[in-house]
């Protein structure tokens, strides 16, 4: 299967497998095995999937206050986000323009400027170079012919939405609004709500021994519910779920959301003035490529899927409520209960996705066949990936123009 190639070329043999993915679901196969473990293909995937369009990169809360900086990696490349005095969040390549040292090593508040630990070149929160100690010789902090104003950190287009930070590494980035419009329109009833993160009991982290796509495709389908989540299936059964199939995202609608709380623990306040659907409805959506979302009348969560390598995935799971009241001690047991619930459900999925990863190494599997009724959310994700691998995401394939989802 392996052929010698560079990481910006799709191997010939793969085009056949990807063409099969693009067939109607009854005849389609899933993504070919190398998409889940091949290192060269993972580099191509980074270029065409992650780096050629808007991609989830972090959370607004990572740099909530002016002066906050937060380093992160995407596919091994170093970046950091910084919140300016103007409250604007900016994302930069995390590399000093002097000798190329990484600039920000840990999350902290730098007040007004970032100072490189190597030779103390100093940058403002908007990336502008403002200090170059001894550049003209000892005691001379400027020198003829060196124009500080012509040098700045390399900024990356970024945008915030629903507590998340997205970045776009494409040469000609599309407008963020075009990418996010389909889902933003769907959930416009929740627009503008204050999202309250309560710290450690709003955070879950997972390290998974699988390709990142398995985490995404496992999340968007409910077919596995009775067998992987037998407890959940008792109060939120398979037959109360419907598939969401849209060009830029897929997932499930549940029509029986009714949270239970420990004895004496209060229910979370609901978001105000929601359409009737949300009284018992919930939606679980994989926003392509790498963000999982869960929306309920009383809380919302977002999961950032971060590949660490073709067969390693990190998940950052953050829960948000809609009222500051939830941060208080009165809600401690309710918050802990909610976190425990989501942690146990996602932990149940671990064995499924890690076992599928082992299956992707088998010559006895060639992408598999889909249930035309139950696997549509997975198939639409595979098609989105296949198109991106073939053509890149330039122009944001499959987004706003084609979306038809009703607003909720
Ligand atoms: S590498 Fe940053 S100041 Fe020299
Ligand atoms: Fe699951």
CB 205, CB 315: distance < 8 Å: yes
Let me know whether 128 and 246 are in one domain. no
**Which one, of 83, 87, 78, 80, lies nearest residue 63 by Cα?**
83
Give the Cα separation of 392 and 214 in Å (integer).
20
- Does the residue 294 lie in any domain? yes
Which of 131, 159, 187 finishes a domain? 159
What residue's CA is closest to ligand 1, atom 1? 99
pLDDT of residue 205: 98
Q: Give the ligand whose atoms come closest to the C-alpha of residue 350.
A: 2
- Does the residue 39 lie in any domain? no
Strand order in the sheet with 241-245: 203-208, 312-320, 300-309, 291-295, 282-287, 249-254, 241-245
- Does the residue 127 lie in any domain? yes
Let me know whether 144 and 188 are in one domain. no
pLDDT, mean over the chain? 94
pLDDT of residue 75: 78
Let me know whether 219 and 261 are in one domain. yes
What residue's CA is closest to ligand 1, atom 4? 119
Task: List ligand 1's pocket residues with C-beta within 6 A.
Answer: 96, 98-99, 101, 116, 118-121
Let me know whether 178 and 320 are in one domain. yes
Let me know whether 153 and 185 are in one domain. no
Give me the residue label for tokens 């249930």. Answer: 371
Which of 159, 193, 219 finishes a domain? 159
- Does the residue 118 lie in any domain? yes
Let me know whether 243 and 336 are in one domain. yes
pLDDT of residue 166: 98
- Does the residue 245 lie in any domain? yes
CATH code assigned at 326 = 3.90.380.10
- Does the residue 7 lie in any domain? no
Let me know whether 232 and 356 are in one domain. yes
CB 381, CB 288: distance < 8 Å: yes
Ligand 1: atom nearest CA of 99 is 1
CB atoms within 10 A of CB 209: 13
- Determine the distance separating the centroid of ligand 1 and the alpha carbon of 103, expressed in angstroms: 8
Range scoring the smallest mean pLDDT among 68-72, 101-105, 259-263: 259-263
Q: What is the mean pLDDT of residues 247-260?
A: 95
- Does the residue 136 lie in any domain? yes
Let me know whether 238 and 286 are in one domain. yes
Overall domain count for the chain: 2
- Determine the distance separating the centroid of ligand 1 and the alpha carbon of 100, expressed in angstroms: 6
Let me know whether 154 and 201 are in one domain. no
- Does the residue 74 lie in any domain? yes
Which of 159, 184, 206 finishes a domain? 159
Give the Cα separation of 341 and 34 in Å (integer).
34
Ligand 1: atom nearest CA of 116 is 2
Let me know whether 286 and 368 are in one domain. yes
- Determine the distance separating the centroid of ligand 1 and the alpha carbon of 135, expressed in angstroms: 11
- Give the tens place of pLDDT for each residue, 35-75: 999 999 999 999 999 999 999 999 999 999 999 999 999 97
pLDDT band at 236 (very low <50, low <70, confident <90, very high): confident
CB 317, CB 303: distance < 8 Å: yes
- Determine the distance separating the centroid of ligand 1 and the alpha carbon of 116, expressed in angstroms: 6
Residue of 118, 130, 146, 153 best suited for mutating to test ligand 1, as the one with most atoms within 8 Å of CB: 118
CB 143, CB 136: distance < 8 Å: yes
Q: Quick check: 398 pLDDT over 90?
A: no
- Give the tens place of pLDDT for each residue, 325-360: 999 999 999 999 999 999 999 999 999 999 999 999
Let me know whether 219 and 114 are in one domain. no
Give me the residue label for tokens 């990190």. Answer: 314
More confident residue, 240 or 407: 240
Q: What is the mean pLDDT of residues 8-18?
A: 87
Residue of 95, 98, 134 best suited for mutating to test ligand 1, as the one with most atoms within 8 Å of CB: 98
Give me the residue label for tokens 């009383």. Answer: 298
Q: Quick check: 403 pLDDT over 80?
A: no
What residue's CA is closest to ligand 1, atom 3? 119
CATH code assigned at 148 = 2.102.10.10
Helix (H, G, I), strand (E, B) or coil at 165: strand
Q: Quick check: 217 pLDDT over 60?
A: yes
Q: DSSP characters for 31-65?
A: --GGGGT-HHHHHHHIIIIITTSEEEEEEGGGG-S
pLDDT of residue 1: 42
- Give the tens place of pLDDT for each residue, 266-299: 999 999 999 999 999 999 999 999 999 999 999 9
- Determine the distance separating the centroid of ligand 1 and the alpha carbon of 159, expressed in angstroms: 28
CB 268, CB 331: distance < 8 Å: yes
Let me know whether 185 and 148 are in one domain. no
- Give the tens place of pLDDT for each residue, 194-216: 999 999 999 999 999 999 999 99
Ligand 1: atom nearest CA of 120 is 3
Residue of 113, 115, 116 best suited for mutating to test ligand 1, as the one with most atoms within 8 Å of CB: 116
Q: Give the ligand whose atoms come closest to the C-alpha of residue 120.
A: 1
Residues of the domain holding 125: 57-159
């Amino acid at each position: 299967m392996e052929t010698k190639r560079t990481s910006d070329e799709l191997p010939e043999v793969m085009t056949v497998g990807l063409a099969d993915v693009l067939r109607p679901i009854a005849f389609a196969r899933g993504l070919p095995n190398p998409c889940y473990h091949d290192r060269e293909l993972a580099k191509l995937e980074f270029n065409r999937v992650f780096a050629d369009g808007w991609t989830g990169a972090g959370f607004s809360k990572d740099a909530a206050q002016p002066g906050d900086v937060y380093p992160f990696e995407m596919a091994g490349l170093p970046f950091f986000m910084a919140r300016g005095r103007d409250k604007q969040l900016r994302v930069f390549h995390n590399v000093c323009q002097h000798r190329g040292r990484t600039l920000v090593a840990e999350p902290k508040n730098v007040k007004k400027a970032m100072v490189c630990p190597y030779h103390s070149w100093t940058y403002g929160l908007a990336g502008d170079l403002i200090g170059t100690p001894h550049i003209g010789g000892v005691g001379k902090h400027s020198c003829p012919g060196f124009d500080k104003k012509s040098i700045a950190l390399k900024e990356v287009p970024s945008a915030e939405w629903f507590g998340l930070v997205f970045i776009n590494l494409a040469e000609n980035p599309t407008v963020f609004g075009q990418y996010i419009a389909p889902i933003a329109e769907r959930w416009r009833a929740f627009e503008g709500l204050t999202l309250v993160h309560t710290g450690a009991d709003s955070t879950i982290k997972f390290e998974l021994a699988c390709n990142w796509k398995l985490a995404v495709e496992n999340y968007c389908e409910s077919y596995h519910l009775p067998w992987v989540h037998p407890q959940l299936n008792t109060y939120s059964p398979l037959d109360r779920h419907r598939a969401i199939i849209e060009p830029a995202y897929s997932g499930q609608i549940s029509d029986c959301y009714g949270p239970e709380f420990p004895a004496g623990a209060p229910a979370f306040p609901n978001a105000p003035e929601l359409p009737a659907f949300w009284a018992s409805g919930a939606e679980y959506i994989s926003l392509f490529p790498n963000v999982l979302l869960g929306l309920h009348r009383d809380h919302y969560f977002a999961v950032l899927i971060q590949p660490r390598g073709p067969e390693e995935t990190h998940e950052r799971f953050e829960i948000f409520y809609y009222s500051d009241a939830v941060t208080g001690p009165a809600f401690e047991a309710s918050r802990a209960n909610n976190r425990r619930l989501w942690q146990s459900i996602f932990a149940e999925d671990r064995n499924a996705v890690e076992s599928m990863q082992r299956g992707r190494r088998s010559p006895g599997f060639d992408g598999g066949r889909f249930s035309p009724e139950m696997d549509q959310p997975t198939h639409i994700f595979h098609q989105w990936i296949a198109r991106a691998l073939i053509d890149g995401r330039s122009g944001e394939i499959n987004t706003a123009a084609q979306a038809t989802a009703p607003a909720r």
